Structure 1
Amino acid sequence: MSASLPGPPEASDVGLPPAVPEAPDHDIRAVLAITPFRRLWLALGLSSLGDWLGLLATTALAATLAQTSSGKLLAVSGVFVLRLAPAVLFGPLAGVVADRLPRRWVLVYGDVLRFVLFCTIPLIGTLWWLYVATVLVEIVGLFWMPAKDATVPNLVPRKRLEAANQLSLVVTYGSAPVAALLFSGLTLASGVLDGVWSHLEGNPTYLALYVNALTFLVSALVIWRLEFPQSTNRAAKQESILRTAVEGWQYIGRTPLVRGLVLGMLGAFAAGGFVIGLAPAFVSALGAGSPGYGTLFAAVFLGMALGMWIAPRLLSEFSRRRLFGLSIAAAGVWLILLSSIPNMALAVFFTVGLGSCAGAAWVTGYTLLGLEVGDDVRGRTFAFVQSMVRVVLISVLALGPIVAATLSRVLHLPTTVHINDDVALTYTGVMATFLLAGLGAIAIGYVSYRQMDDRKGVSLVADLALAISQRQLHDPPARRSPYPGRFVAFEGGDGAGKSTQVRLLGEWLGEHGHTPLLTREPGATDAGAKMRDVLLHGGDLSPRAEALLFAADRAHHVETVVRPALYRGEIVVTDRFADSSIAYQGTGRDLGTAEVAQLSRWATEGLVPDLTIVLDVEPDTGRSRRADEHDRLEQEPDDFHARVRERFLALAQRAPSRYLVVDAALGPQEIHRRVVQRLAPVLPESTIERAAREVREAADEQARQAAQRQREHHAQVEEQVLAERQARRRAEEQARRAAREQAELEAKVQAAAEQAAAAKAAAERAAAEQAELEARAAAAARDRAAREADEAAREATRQAAREATHRGRHHRADDTLVQPTVAPGEPPALEDEIFDLGEREQR
């Protein structure tokens, strides 16, 4: 409510500006204008599209990977079961996570994980990994959905929650037919692209899986950029996970409305689960095959989207509790028709009808849950519903084939009924199962209707016909532009204590710096006082004349008193307003609530109180409080006042964001406390509050400036410390560089000295070697000269010997020279030895 209240006006707004249209509470465009919700809604649409596309792709891939016909059926059923099975273990934990952890990051990480998991399915390409990835994807989804559902009420005003839930559910289930068409298109495109990308060859579902993964990645990017308020149960963070989950279950169990809604939704899904599990066999019996399965799959979810979108609008004034049970029963009727006429064309039509009723029941139940459940347990409640829905679906998916097979054996099905020569209808065990499911849905709807009926004694047919025929009167006209004041109305039966509460609230408003204007209907103006006398104390009036007089008084009252005060910024508190006419004349006088409501809207130009407090009082209690003084309306019997009371409560139930219902049996001060508690957060700023705010802002500004100065001082100190540290580091670096250069220089000098010493030693070694070589050469020369001298001497000796020998021989020949005689054993003479040596050398 507070989000929809106008803020203070500009100077130019003072006065009565012309009427400017303001969107009604259920306007879809007004909900989508809320940026955080719109972005979350887009992310939800992408994730839902990916979910449905992934379901189609994984079931089709499972059938492809299986080898036998029975194996294909089991593989597809296995995918369904594995998508639902994790809810048994992880559903309660997911609810606790949604109530404890930051929901934004739960959503982002969940989408990223699903992106990765879906990418791995075609990359690995095995049936076992398909099953593993399916389980992991479902576990992540169990955490993602409660976080999303619990976040939506924090992003939109309470008065627009129903429209937000409607949009969320429509995009969740309405994306299923889009996914079916996209899946068909991607499988066809895969046949064209497999020539470019061989990975797709023979695997037409791979492309769909990659596109499916991409939707989750884009969704994560959208949510990552989204900022929205986080409201989780801080107290629950101190408790154990088990206790937190048990408290959520206990809340559901002890709250009758929530318990009834949950049981009704589970029963409806139990009946619909048979259709989901047996649809392939059903279309196969009709000869439609896989195209028929895809068509039926799209039809049921198209119907759900239509039901979610149309039912709240078509039956805007119809009791939501009645609509819930009625929708479940109507879905059962469509199921019976589906089982009775086995024709594919009619089956599509019946399936759309079935989906429409299921969608109406789902959005109604979801909205009632969202309005009734507080934020601290909202995540656990939605997680419980989603988990139990999956548990029920697992059960019926497992029982569906068994029930169908049993009925086939017991009833000897299939059997063919020949209508004529051209028309024959074949009935199977699957169709018999549909019949039982339809009867079960009707029973569940009837029980739910009986338990939740809030208009007992009113004909259902008449109520439904009136809601349909008069729906055009339910759209409120455009309201005027926002006003700076606030408009509060007290409603309730006679004797409820409204006048006392108006007075107490006026005193409280004055004490807190507001300018209250206390008024009443009828009789707040001079003309109104005369009409009040006629209405309450005059003679008999026809019901229509009475309604018109009340409308006339209200029109004059609003135009001359209420609206000018609102534009002056005052807090207008009225004892009765338009709801009294709807309750007393519309219901009590049986003139029709729609007509009377339209009359009041026209009279007030669409002015609606910002808050209406309904003081609920029993008719006999109100009569005892009125003592002996009774006006025309107070004199009516108790059944009249009972109908009036029911209408007040019904009005409050349909727009809880604008109503506060308080038990009038409580003490006046307790009632006043509850009224103030609800009203205080949405009141404009009073003069006292403005002065206190200015003082706080001045103190905050001083504190901010002091903190800024302190930060600047700290920054300067840090800069100085940093400069000194940098200077020290530079000096140390320079010293290290100088030391390094000195060490390098010394190393170079040492190396040069070592090189010089090595060169000197080498020179000395070379000189010594040269001297040695020269000495050796001189010695060799001397030796050679000696040898040459010896050789010359020997040669001279030999030459002399030869000459002597020659002369001796010549002498013996000529002069008969006698040879010397050598005695035996004596050594030869020296001359003989020398001559003999010479001869040997000569030889």
Structure 2
Amino acid sequence: MRLFAIRDYRHLFAAQVIALFGTGLTTVALGLLAYDLAGPRAGMVLGTALTIKMVMYVAIAPLAAAYIDRLPRRTLLVLLDVIRGAVVLALPLVTEVWHIYVLIGLLQAASAAFTPTFQAVIPDIVTDEAAYTRALSASQVASTMESLLSPVLAALALTFLSFDRLFLGTSAGFLISAVLVLLTRIPDARPSTHTRAWDKAAAGIRTFLGTPRLRGIMALNLTVAAAGSIVVVNTVNYVRDELGGSQQDVAWMLAASGTGTLLAALALPRVLDRVAARTVMMTGAKVLVAATAAAVALIATGLTTWAGTAIVWTATGIGMALIITPTGKVLRASVERAAIPEAFAAQFSLSHLAWLITYPVAGWLGTRAGFTLAWSVLATLAAAGAVGALLLWPRHDGRGTAVVPSTTGPAATSEDRSTLVKAA
């Protein structure tokens, strides 16, 4: 089955892409807004704002997944897009730092409910197993394209516009996404066998804790967050203050990381057909450990060159893609079809719990104690996650075995078991 021959998937995918690019522009503009309001303390402001984001994701995503089957999903997705568009439209009007915190809290609460709902819709629209696997890959490619092109578009836009105008593009993106969702036929969720909200919210987390390969992914989440926090939180101050760059230079350095992500994402589909997902993801962990160590070396020795920084940022993007891209495939192979929404929501929350740990280190510790200490702590966390994954995820885990037993749905199909063998 041709994936993009499915009309409803085309609309939903387009909505995702447009919203992603809006979010990417917000990320760049938010960093520049923080620098405009706080100057050298921008890292602390951005770190706090992103920590608020993670708190919302960790707390709200499981509850959103728990109540998905009680609400009309299309209406919910449209409403959340409208809320996000309105909040982003208000960001250029802020005059105090605490205004950023309030608006980011509202924005990310809506995003935390949107993402697990969106992820849960895909298997109901794309019912063919092979097409569903391609849909997961397409979603990841869209995310990687956004990480590359959004900073590039922001850099070009900043040549002609002030950074606050980027928020207007974000708001428009969310509203267009809402229209596309309205044009999509989205079935309401099948009721879960769990009767209490907490049972449903906790089901996916229990699956993670009880499955070796998923415990390994939990550890890899920490490696991704530790390396990614250096790029997301510290790029604006590092480029402006250490390298003496401009607003456009901030965007281009973020694009360097996105380039690494894109290169890896384009190569991975063929690689994953021949190489076990575990091998690919462990390679990504090694790349990220090396990249964080190199970042520490750059700042500690004072060799903060443009070329050296671009290489480290690009390597970070490559390592993150090597871990994140296969995650959906491994997750899909580890649970029954009925438990997919709960499992994806659990990964959503658990991965952002890792960012909740690393964002304050990059933002608060980086501002108060300097990049050398903060990045050393993050490099240590990245290494700890990599070692933890090696210990928690046995090399031959899952070969020839069935998916994890569950009471939430029917037994796994033969296609599920086949996917599991490839994923492990």
TM-score (norm 1): 0.44
Cα displacement (A) at 1:123: 5.2
1:384 match: 346
2:110 match: 140
1:344 match: 306
Point out where structure 1 has 5 or more consecutive residues left out of the alignment: 5-29, 191-203, 409-428, 457-490, 493-610, 615-648, 657-843
- Asked whether the equivalents of residues 104 and 224 of structure 1 are also in contact (C-alpha less than 8 Å), the reply is yes
2:14 corresponds to 1:246: no
3-state SS in 2 of match to 1:85? helix
The alpha-carbon distance between structure 1 residues 71 and 253, as it changes in their structure 2 partners (threshold 3 A), is closer
Amino acid at match of 1:141: S
- Alignment RMSD: 3.2
Cα displacement (A) at 1:310: 1.2
- Asked whether the equivalents of residues 284 and 322 of structure 2 are also in contact (C-alpha less than 8 Å), the reply is yes
2:121 corresponds to 1:159: no
Amino acid at match of 1:434: W
2:1 corresponds to 1:39: no
2:137 corresponds to 1:181: no
Cα displacement (A) at 1:112: 1.4
Cα displacement (A) at 1:351: 1.5
1:540 match: none
Cα distance in 2 for residues equivalent to 1:306 and 1:271: 18
Once the two structures are superposed, what CA deviation does each residue of 1:96-123 show, in whole Å capped at 9, x if it has no partner?
1335433322222111111222223335
1:109 match: 79
Cα distance in 1 for residues equivalent to 2:27 and 2:323: 24
Once the two structures are superposed, what CA deviation does each residue of 1:104-160 show, in whole Å capped at 9, x if it has no partner?
222221111112222233356655443322111100000111111122222322223
Write the mapping of 1:616-695 to structure 2, written as runs, cut at 5 A: 653-654=421-422
The alpha-carbon distance between structure 1 residues 452 and 161, as it changes in their structure 2 partners (threshold 3 A), is farther
Cα displacement (A) at 1:289: 4.9
Once the two structures are superposed, what CA deviation does each residue of 1:635-682 show, in whole Å capped at 9, x if it has no partner?
xxxxxxxxxxxxxx88861289xxxxxxxxxxxxxxxxxxxxxxxxxx
Amino acid at match of 1:58: L
Amino acid at match of 2:393: M
Write the mapping of 1:290-329 to structure 2, written as runs, cut at 5 A: 290-329=247-286
Selected match of 1:217 from 150, 168, 175: 175
3-state SS in 2 of match to 1:233? coil
The alpha-carbon distance between structure 1 residues 217 and 404, as it changes in their structure 2 partners (threshold 3 A), is closer
2:382 match: 441
1:121 match: 91
- Asked whether the equivalents of residues 308 and 363 of structure 1 are also in contact (C-alpha less than 8 Å), the reply is yes
Cα distance in 1 for residues equivalent to 2:215 and 2:423: 21
Cα distance in 2 for residues equivalent to 1:375 and 1:98: 16
Once the two structures are superposed, what CA deviation does each residue of 1:192-230 show, in whole Å capped at 9, x if it has no partner?
xxxxxxxxxxxx233211121011111111111111444
3-state SS in 1 of match to 2:139? helix
The alpha-carbon distance between structure 1 residues 392 and 137, as it changes in their structure 2 partners (threshold 3 A), is same
Write the mapping of 1:239-638 to structure 2, written as runs, cut at 5 A: 239-283=195-239, 284-341=241-298, 342-400=304-362, 403-404=365-366, 429-431=370-372, 433-455=374-396
Cα displacement (A) at 1:432: 5.5
Cα displacement (A) at 1:388: 2.9
1:235 match: 193
Cα displacement (A) at 1:451: 3.8
Cα distance in 2 for residues equivalent to 1:80 and 1:613: 39
The alpha-carbon distance between structure 1 residues 229 and 332, as it changes in their structure 2 partners (threshold 3 A), is same
The alpha-carbon distance between structure 1 residues 654 and 291, as it changes in their structure 2 partners (threshold 3 A), is same
- Asked whether the equivalents of residues 68 and 189 of structure 2 are also in contact (C-alpha less than 8 Å), the reply is no
Cα distance in 1 for residues equivalent to 2:219 and 2:25: 29
- Asked whether the equivalents of residues 261 and 317 of structure 2 are also in contact (C-alpha less than 8 Å), the reply is yes
Amino acid at match of 1:247: A
Cα distance in 2 for residues equivalent to 1:73 and 1:349: 22
Cα distance in 2 for residues equivalent to 1:402 and 1:76: 9
- Asked whether the equivalents of residues 329 and 441 of structure 1 are also in contact (C-alpha less than 8 Å), the reply is no
Cα distance in 1 for residues equivalent to 2:199 and 2:420: 34
The alpha-carbon distance between structure 1 residues 235 and 441, as it changes in their structure 2 partners (threshold 3 A), is same
Cα distance in 2 for residues equivalent to 1:613 and 1:289: 52
* Greater RCO structure (CA 8 Å; 6+ sep): 2
- Asked whether the equivalents of residues 99 and 380 of structure 1 are also in contact (C-alpha less than 8 Å), the reply is no
1:696 match: none
The alpha-carbon distance between structure 1 residues 158 and 374, as it changes in their structure 2 partners (threshold 3 A), is same
1:93 match: 63
- Asked whether the equivalents of residues 166 and 309 of structure 1 are also in contact (C-alpha less than 8 Å), the reply is no
Cα distance in 1 for residues equivalent to 2:306 and 2:113: 38
Cα distance in 1 for residues equivalent to 2:48 and 2:182: 34
- Asked whether the equivalents of residues 58 and 353 of structure 2 are also in contact (C-alpha less than 8 Å), the reply is yes
Once the two structures are superposed, what CA deviation does each residue of 1:767-786 show, in whole Å capped at 9, x if it has no partner?
xxxxxxxxxxxxxxxxxxxx
User: 1 or 2, which has the higher helix percentage?
Assistant: 2
Point out where structure 2 has 5 or more consecutive residues left out of the alignment: 299-303, 402-412
Cα displacement (A) at 1:269: 1.7
Cα distance in 2 for residues equivalent to 1:377 and 1:99: 12
- Asked whether the equivalents of residues 12 and 180 of structure 2 are also in contact (C-alpha less than 8 Å), the reply is yes
Amino acid at match of 1:179: S
Cα distance in 1 for residues equivalent to 2:377 and 2:357: 16
Cα distance in 2 for residues equivalent to 1:54 and 1:214: 12
2:52 match: 82
Cα displacement (A) at 1:443: 4.4
User: 1 or 2, which has the higher strand percentage?
Assistant: 1
The alpha-carbon distance between structure 1 residues 453 and 294, as it changes in their structure 2 partners (threshold 3 A), is same
3-state SS in 2 of match to 1:288? coil
Cα distance in 1 for residues equivalent to 2:81 and 2:209: 32
Cα distance in 2 for residues equivalent to 1:289 and 1:47: 27
3-state SS in 2 of match to 1:226? coil
Selected match of 1:54 from 26, 39, 63: 26
Amino acid at match of 2:7: T
Cα distance in 1 for residues equivalent to 2:198 and 2:388: 32
TM-score (norm 2): 0.83
Cα displacement (A) at 1:325: 1.9
Amino acid at match of 1:226: T
Once the two structures are superposed, what CA deviation does each residue of 1:394-432 show, in whole Å capped at 9, x if it has no partner?
3222223565578x6xxxxxxxxxxxxxxxxxxxx5245
The alpha-carbon distance between structure 1 residues 160 and 453, as it changes in their structure 2 partners (threshold 3 A), is farther
Cα distance in 1 for residues equivalent to 2:202 and 2:396: 34
